[in-house]
Structure 1
Amino acid sequence: MIFAVVALAVVGLGNSNSSTGEGSTLRPQSTVQYPIRFDHAPAAQAPQPRPTVSYPIRWER
């Protein structure tokens, strides 16, 4: 019975909402601005993908 009381207390505290007193919940502020641009990076193009094998792969028919 003690285990059941402790389990209910943990579930109850885990599901409670933290509020600022004004009815809004606390959330972390985002510091990212999209789209991400690299102003000081050289204007090189992205490398093209290359195959990882140099032999043909034969499939059973």
Structure 2
Amino acid sequence: MEFEQRGRNPVALRVDDVLESRKLLEARGVEFNGETIDSGVCHQAFFADPDGNVLVLHHRYTPRAP
């Protein structure tokens, strides 16, 4: 079965440390789309697999008090 649409629904990969995981993948040639994002409750870094599917390194953390 062949699917026409690719990369529309990202797959989130939960990691303990987004920055460290990103470094390891970049060292292996993975190219990320933009900088690592800190949303206030999680860190995220977006990249694509060879077929164009969007993947996200994701780590949710407890927000710091203002």
**TM norm structure 1:** 0.21
Structure with the largest fraction of helix: 1
Q: Quick one: higher RCO (CA 8 Å, sep 6+), 1 or 2?
A: 2
Structure number, greater radius of gyration:
1
